[in-house]
Amino acid sequence: MVASRIDGVSVRGIVGCVPDGRETVADLARRFGEEAARKVAAATGIEERRIVAPGQCTSDLAEAATRRLLDGLGWEPDSIDLLVLVTQTHDQTLPGTASLLHRRLGLRKGAAVLDITHGCSGFVYGLWVAGGMLKPAGRRALLLVGDTTSRLIDPEDRAVAPLFGDGAAAVALELDDRAEPIAFDLGSDGAGAPYLAADGGAMRHPDRPPRLFMDGTQVFAFTLREVPASVRAALDGAGWTTDMVDHLVLHQANAQMIRHLGQKLGVAADRTVVALRDVGNTSSASIPLALAASLADSLTAGPRRLLLSGFGVGWSWGSAALVAGPLAVCETVVLPGRKYPAESAAPASPAA
């Protein structure tokens, strides 16, 4: 495990973005039958998922979130010194999606940009990377996270089709000498790579499109094995007890799993955020989307102690304990279901 602390960095705002397209339990019932669809919803807590329209990409969601974030903060694009983007569903093979967003957002020439390919733990990893890079890079950073996992789903695959939705989020970071340290715990175990994967559409399998595969039993076992220790390590790194935590926000993969982990960690149910009913599992964006959807009033009102943990594909896990708030902006926007101009869509996307 990697344990570390980052000093002098504050979160200033969070904006999530989801597409307006959606697939509901009723839609799934038409494919899998009413009883099967209802069982999945009861087991996972997911009633509907947000789905991008043809021609929309991860960058479109991230751009919409970022524009609202900058507007809410009153930050000019040329004041951004660093952009870190975390996604598993890049717009195209190259250049990186961060470079595309640098241009579309009008960031200043010379600002540093970086793509990170990561999934369920990606928000915490991104926070660690962006926070650590900010002081050498300048004063302000944008951390963008998001995935359009629906592009990887076989609609007839009952193991994944009812679970994964699309979404993105933008988080503003700024140097602040008064900020409390952010404590991290990070880790990985590549032995888990085969159990949550999309192996098509790459050099090994150029003859077939990428399709997501998940062994849910292995995912659940990994989560219970690794996550509680990681969360406790971040808690210890911050010098907190569980009673000091205002909100526990875990990767929003499964409502039962979230509640079980909250109980195992000794965090009361009313302080454990469950916010996946209307969006599904949004991979790297699930934690900031949950913050924006469930804690906007709390985070804009004053400082809150947050205990965060993302975990999954890889295997990988990352936990963070931080104080955030009062935020200048914390909300969710909706991306209309329309095709963006050609330069904003992914040339390599089979749906473009």
Structure tokens at 246: 């205002």
Element (H, E) at 172: strand 166-175
Asked if the bond preceding 341 is cis, omega within 30° of 0, the reply is no
Sequence-distant (≥ 6) Cβ neighbours of residue 93 within 8 angstroms = 348
DSSP 77-141: GGG--EEEEE-SS-SSSSS-HHHHHHHHHTPPTT-EEEEE---TTHHHHHHHHHHHHHHHH-SEE
Q: Is the Cβ–Cβ distance between 97 and 66 less than 8 Å?
A: no
Structure tokens at 144: 């963008």
Q: In what order do the strands lie in the sheet with 140-148?
A: 112-116, 82-86, 140-148, 166-175, 9-19, 329-335
How far apart are the C-alpha atoms of 230 and 228, rounded to whole Å? 5
- 């990988």: which residue's tokens? 316
Burial 270-298 (b: 16+ CB within 10 A, else e): ebbbbbbeebbbbbbbbbbbbbbbbbbeb
Q: Catalytic amino acids?
A: 120, 251, 281
Nearest Cα to Cα of residue 165 among 153, 150, 151: 150
Task: Find the DSSP H helices in the chain.
Answer: 25-32, 34-44, 58-73, 97-105, 122-137, 216-238, 255-265, 286-294, 296-301
